[in-house]
């Protein structure tokens, strides 16, 4: 696999020696992998599991974080609550995390503040979508409305102008298809967003096949990677997406949905049987959990750090000013 330095082009041509910010890493994956998969997670545990299973990038899903908090994906959680969950992901993993920033929580300024805090706590990038605030989850209901193109471009530009790390990634997501618009609108919007500075375009679709993605991809010449989330068109393979020229594939909510059904089944079985033992075989042991979270590391560190006798100071001459 060639690195971006070797190919010498695109947003990954950061020439800083040893550039390894989370954003840099995500940039490379979006261009190098074929395509890069971002596993959707909702808390520190799901993030740890995804990384343990080999995923090299994470998607901090607004839907999944909201669901874990017990609220609806309609801006019911505050933006700092969402970022607190993101902190749990970032603190516990070493792979880049792309953060779902929904519509930006207000205007260019709130979006910029969201992006700024996401960057500060170690996220690799944020993604904003071109719907009105408060939003409704794209898979629910009809009547999703888009904001004017220039308003959304301002939001993207404000974030790009404000980032500290040049590698930090800002993804622009167009909900054109969700809003019932055609490929012309989607491409026109995406081009404007890329021109405003977006590092990638997330084109969203809720069709049962990748037909809209294919139509968009065939028309796309915007110079930045395409990102998608095949929640409804889940039969398409990564190879097929690769041939469509897709750079990033978000498996947005399957982990949370797996947790959901497993928790419901366990509750139901235990409630009806009045005993735990029936589910015992189906659920992870505490030992497995302790292993993933490194309990034995802590035991070792306890021996190392609970008490430490520093080496005798070498004879120091001179005072406290070095």
| Catalytic site positions | 73
- State in angstroms the smallest separation of the CB of 127 from its own copies: 17
CB 57 within 8 A of CB 38: yes
- Binding part of the chain for its own copies, among 41-49, 123-131, 176-184, 207-215 by CB under 8 A, reads 41-49
Q: Does the footprint of its own copies cover residue 25 (CB under 8 A)?
A: no
Phi/psi class of residue 236: alpha, beta or left (left: φ > 0; alpha: ψ in -120 to 50)?
beta
Q: Can residue 15 be called a binding residue for its own copies (CB under 8 A)?
A: no
Give yes or no for residue 145 binding its own copies (CB under 8 A).
no
Residue with Cβ nearer its own copies (89 or 98): 89
Among 145, 166, 208, 290, interactor with its own copies by CB under 8 A: 290
182 or 223: CB nearest its own copies: 223
Please report how close the Cβ of residue 172 comes to its own copies at its closest, in angstroms: 11
Q: Does 108 bind its own copies (CB under 8 A)?
A: yes
DSSP secondary structure letter of residue 182 = -
Q: Which of 55, 59, 168, 202 binds its own copies (CB under 8 A)?
A: 55
Give the nearest distance from C-beta 48 to its own copies in angstroms. 5
* Separation between Cα atoms, residue 211 and residue 25, nearest integer Å: 30
Per CB under 8 A, 268 contacts its own copies = yes
33 scored as a contact of its own copies (CB under 8 A): no
Rounded least distance, CB 181 to its own copies, Å: 19
Answer yes or no: are the C-beta atoms of 93 and 48 closer than 8 Å. yes
Cβ 304 to its own copies shortest distance, Å:
8
Query: Between 184 and 295, whose beta carbon lies closer to its own copies?
Result: 295
Comparison of 92 and 181: residue with beta carbon closer to its own copies: 92
Binding its own copies (rule: CB under 8 A), the pick from 15, 28, 49, 174 is 49
Minimum Å gap between C-beta 187 and its own copies is 11
> Taking CA 115 as the corner, what is the angle to CA 180 and CA 191, rounded to the nearest 5 degrees?
40
Q: Give the residue with the Cβ less far from its own copies, 25 or 255.
A: 255
CA distance 295 to 241: 40
Applying the rule CB under 8 A, the residues between 57 and 96 that interact with its own copies are 67-72, 74-76, 78-81, 84, 88-89, 91-92
User: Between the CA of residue 139 and those of 40, 117, 177, 234, 255, what are the distances in Å?
Assistant: 16, 28, 12, 14, 17
State the maximum Cα–Cα separation within the chain, in Å, rounded to a whole number: 77
From residue 293, alpha-carbon distances to 60, 92, 270 in Å are 20, 9, 26
DSSP state letters, 235-279 = TS-HHHHHHTTEEEEEE-SHHHHHHHHHHHHHHHHHHHHS-SHHH
Give the C-alpha separation, 230 to 11, whole Å: 25
Q: Residue 249 and residue 29: Cα distance in Å, rounded?
A: 11
262 binds its own copies (CB under 8 A): yes
Q: Which residues between 170 and 189 bind its own copies (CB under 8 A)?
A: none
Q: Are 126 and 103 in contact (CB under 8 A)?
A: no
Which residues from 195-254 bind its own copies, rule CB under 8 A? Answer: 195-197, 217, 220-226, 230-231, 234-239, 245, 247, 251, 253-254
Are the CB atoms for 172 and 202 separated by under 8 Å?
A: yes
CB of 241 to its own copies, least distance (A): 10
User: Total residues contacting its own copies (rule CB under 8 A)?
Assistant: 151
């Amino acid at each position: 696999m060639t690195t971006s330095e070797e190919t010498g082009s695109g947003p990954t041509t950061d020439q800083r020696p040893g550039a390894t910010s989370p954003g840099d890493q995500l940039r490379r994956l979006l261009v190098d992998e074929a395509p890069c998969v971002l596993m959707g997670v909702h808390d520190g545990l799901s993030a740890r599991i995804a990384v343990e299973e080999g995923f090299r990038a994470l998607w901090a899903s607004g839907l999944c974080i909201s669901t874990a908090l017990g609220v609806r994906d309609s801006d019911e959680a505050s933006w700092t609550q969402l970022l607190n969950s993101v902190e749990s992901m970032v603190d516990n993993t070493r792979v880049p995390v792309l953060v779902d920033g929904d519509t930006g929580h207000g205007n260019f300024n709130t979006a910029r503040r969201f992006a700024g805090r996401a960057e500060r706590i170690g996220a690799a990038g944020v993604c904003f979508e071109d719907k009105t605030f408060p939003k409704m989850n794209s898979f629910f209901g009809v009547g999703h409305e888009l904001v004017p193109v220039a308003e959304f471009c301002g939001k993207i530009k404000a974030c790009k102008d404000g980032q500290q790390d040049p590698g930090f990634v800002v993804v622009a997501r167009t909900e054109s298809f969700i809003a019932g618009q055609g490929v012309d609108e989607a491409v026109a919007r995406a081009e404007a967003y890329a021109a405003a500075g977006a590092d990638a375009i997330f084109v969203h679709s809720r069709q049962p096949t990748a037909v809209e993605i294919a139509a968009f991809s065939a028309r796309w010449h915007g110079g930045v990677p395409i990102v998608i989330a095949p929640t409804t068109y889940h039969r398409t393979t990564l190879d097929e997406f690769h041939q469509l020229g897709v750079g990033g594939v978000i498996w947005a909510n399957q982990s949370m949905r797996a947790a959901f059904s497993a928790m419901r089944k366990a509750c139901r079985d235990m409630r009806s049987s009045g005993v735990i033992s029936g589910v015992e075989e189906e659920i992870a042991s505490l030992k497995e959990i302790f292993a993933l979270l490194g309990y034995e590391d802590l035991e070792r560190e306890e021996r190392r750090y609970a008490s430490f006798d520093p080496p005798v100071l070498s004879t120091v001459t001179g005072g406290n000013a070095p």
